[in-house]
Amino acid sequence: MATALTCFVALVAAGCTGDDRDGFRPGAADAGDPYVPGRGNGGYDVTHYGLDVRYDPSTDRLTGQAVITATATQDLSRFNLDLVGLDVGTVRVGDAPADHRRSDAELVVTPRDGLSRGRQFTVTVGYTGVPTAVEGGSLGSGGFLHTADGAVALGQPDSAATWFPVNDHPSDKASYDLAVTVPDGLAALSNGVPGPKSSADGWTTWRWSERAPMASYLSTLVIGDYRVVTDTHAGRPMVTAVAASLPANGGAASSLARTGEIVDFLASRFGPYPFDSYGGIVIADDRVGYALETQSRPVYGPAFFADDRPNASVVAHELAHQWFGDSVSLARWGDIWLNEGFASYAEWLWEEHDGGRTAQRNFELQYAKTDWSQPSVEPGPDLMFGTAVYKRGALAVHALRRTVGDDTFFRILRTWTAERAGGNATTADLVALAERVAGRQLRPLFDAWLVGGSAPTLP
Ligand SMILES: [Zn+2]
C-alpha cells in the first residue's frame, strides 16, 4: 500500500517510470544525512567489498574491479553506488550484464530483473581512470591524493568513492578484501590482516582483509616508499609503516612503536580491542594535515611529528577511535561527538597514565575556556570537526564519570563497546545505555553538558 502511494506521488511529482511496476522501486540516491548530501544510498545493505585494484604512480592511473555483495532491503528496480570520477566499463548483477549510467558522483545500476526484498546479490563493476582528490572539506584534503612516490586515499566524512564504487555512508558497514597491485619496490598498505604477496612482470600484489564490519570512510590505501614493520601483538598481526623520507628513528617511528602499549592501556579501560590486527601509517605528504582512525591501522599526517618530536597523544586518540567510531560507529554525522568526544577523552586518560596531567586537571582547564554556545550534538556540517565536538564532548564524558563514579563509568563504556560492537549507534542510544547501567536518570546531565547554552554546574 505504501509502495503504491509512493509511486502515485512520484508519478505526479516527477513521473513514474516503467521500473516502478509491480512495487519494485529505485533505491534512494542518498542516505538522507544532511551532513553529506548525495552520499550513501538506499534500497540495499552491503555485506562485503572484494576489491582488486592496480595503480601505476607514473601515470596516476587506477584500474579496478569491485565485487560487492549486498542484500536488497526493498523490492529494488534499480540502485545507486557512489563513485567520483573514473570510467565504468562493465557492470554485472549476478552473472547478467546490467544497464548503468553515471550522474555526477553516482553510478546508477539497473539489473535485468528486479531484486526482491531480502535477496542477496553481487554487483561487479569494472572501472578505470585517474582518481581525484576531495578538496575543500572541513577536515582538509582527502580522497585519492597522488603523492611524490605513490598515492594516499583517505578522508572524512567521505573518501572511498574516489577509488571504488561504494555505498559511501557509515550506516552501511561491510567487510573488505583488497588486492592492490603496484610496481615492485613500492609498499601498498591498507586495513586489516595482511595476506600473501605475489610478484609478476615487475608488479607486486599486496593483499589485505578486514573481517570486522567497516564504515567506508575508514578504508584507506597508502602506496609508496615506506619502511614497513610486520610484527605480532597479543597474537595478532601488527603492521606499522613510516614514509621512507621521514627519519628512521625519529619522532614518528618512536610514537608509532608505542601502538601496542597504548592499545593495551586503552583495552584496560574500554574493553577488549575490537579488531584482528593492529598498526599505523605515518605519511609524509603535508597536504594531509590530520590523522584519521582508518580501521585497525590509523594514518597520521606528518604535522603531528613536526621537528621530529614524538607524539603519543595523537596515537592514543586514533587508537581510541578503534572502539569509539570504528567498532561502534555513528549512524548519522550529526552524532560525530560520539567519536571525537571519547577519542579526545582518551587523550586525557593516556596523558594521566603516561605521567602527565590528570584527566581531572585537563577537564578543569578545558571547562574554563569552553564556549557553551556551540553544541556537541548536531554541530552543523561546518563545525563537525569543531571544538564543541572534540573538547566539549570530552567534558561531557568526564562529567558522566564524576557523576556516576569510576566503577559505573567504566562499566558503561565497556558495556557500550561490547553491546554495540560492529554496529551503529546514536546519542540517544548512549544515554539509554548509560541510564540502564547506572540505574539512574542521566538525560539531563547529557543535555546540559552536550547541548545546553550555558556552563553546566560542576559535578
Ligand atoms: Zn578523532
Q: How far is the CA of 324 from the centre of ligand 1 (A)?
A: 9
Q: What per-residue confidence (pLDDT) applies to 1? A: 34
Instruction: At 424, list the grid cell.
Output: 551503529
State yes or no: pLDDT of 427 exceeds 50.
yes
C-alpha to C-alpha distance for 339 and 33, rounded to whole angstroms? 17
State yes or no: pLDDT of 432 exceeds 70.
yes
CA proximity to 258, closest of 215, 306, 317, 326: 317
β-bridge mates for residue 126, sequence order: 65
C-alpha to C-alpha distance for 449 and 459, rounded to whole angstroms? 11
Q: How far is the CA of 424 from the centre of ligand 1 (A)?
A: 17
DSSP 222: E
C-alpha to C-alpha distance for 141 and 150, rounded to whole angstroms? 16
Cβ of 282: how many Cβ atoms within 10 Å?
A: 26
How confident is the model over 16-54, as pLDDT tens digits?
444 455 789 999 999 999 999 999 999 999 999 999 999
Mean local confidence (pLDDT), 423-435? 98
CB 392 within 8 A of CB 376: yes
Q: How far is the CA of 213 from the centre of ligand 1 (A)?
A: 19
Instruction: At 265, list the grid cell.
Output: 592501556
Single-letter amino acid, residue 154: L
Q: What per-residue confidence (pLDDT) applies to 21? A: 57
Q: What per-residue confidence (pLDDT) applies to 16? A: 41
Distances in Å between the alpha carbon of 75 and those of 12, 26, 122, 185? 21, 8, 16, 48
CB 228 within 8 A of CB 286: no
Instruction: At 211, list the grid cell.
Output: 573481517
Q: How far is the CA of 392 from the centre of ligand 1 (A)?
A: 13
Percent of the chain at pLDDT > 90 equals 93
Phi/psi of residue 181, nearest 5 degrees = -110, 125
Q: How far is the CA of 289 from the centre of ligand 1 (A)?
A: 13
Q: How far is the CA of 59 from the centre of ligand 1 (A)?
A: 33
C-alpha to C-alpha distance for 39 and 215, rounded to whole angstroms? 13
Q: How far is the CA of 144 from the centre of ligand 1 (A)?
A: 20
Residues 6+ apart with CB under 8 A from 304: 252, 255, 291, 311, 314
Q: How far is the CA of 393 from the centre of ligand 1 (A)?
A: 11
The helix/strand/coil state of 369 is: coil
Mean local confidence (pLDDT), 182-194? 98
Phi/psi of residue 355, nearest 5 degrees = 90, 10
The helix/strand/coil state of 257 is: coil
Q: How far is the CA of 385 from the centre of ligand 1 (A)?
A: 9
Q: How far is the CA of 420 from the centre of ligand 1 (A)?
A: 19
C-alpha to C-alpha distance for 140 and 156, rounded to whole angstroms? 9
Instruction: At 67, list the grid cell.
Output: 565485487
State yes or no: pLDDT of 4 exceeds 50.
no
How confident is the model over 128-175, as pLDDT tens digits?
999 999 887 778 889 999 999 999 999 999 999 999 999 999 999 999
pTM of this prediction? Answer: 0.94
DSSP per-residue letters across 188-206: EE-SSEE---EEETTEEEE
Instruction: At 181, list the grid cell.
Output: 597491485
Q: How far is the CA of 317 from the centre of ligand 1 (A)?
A: 6
HSE-CB at 357 with a 13 A cutoff on CA atoms is 13
Single-letter amino acid, residue 412: I
Q: How far is the CA of 22 from the centre of ligand 1 (A)?
A: 46
Mean local confidence (pLDDT), 342-369? 98
| Whether residue 213 has a cis bond before it, omega within 30° of 0 | no
State yes or no: pLDDT of 185 exceeds 60.
yes
CB 260 within 8 A of CB 238: yes
Q: How far is the CA of 404 from the centre of ligand 1 (A)?
A: 25
State yes or no: pLDDT of 13 exceeds 70.
no
Handedness of CA 329, 331, 333, 337 (dihedral sign): negative
Mean local confidence (pLDDT), 320-345? 98
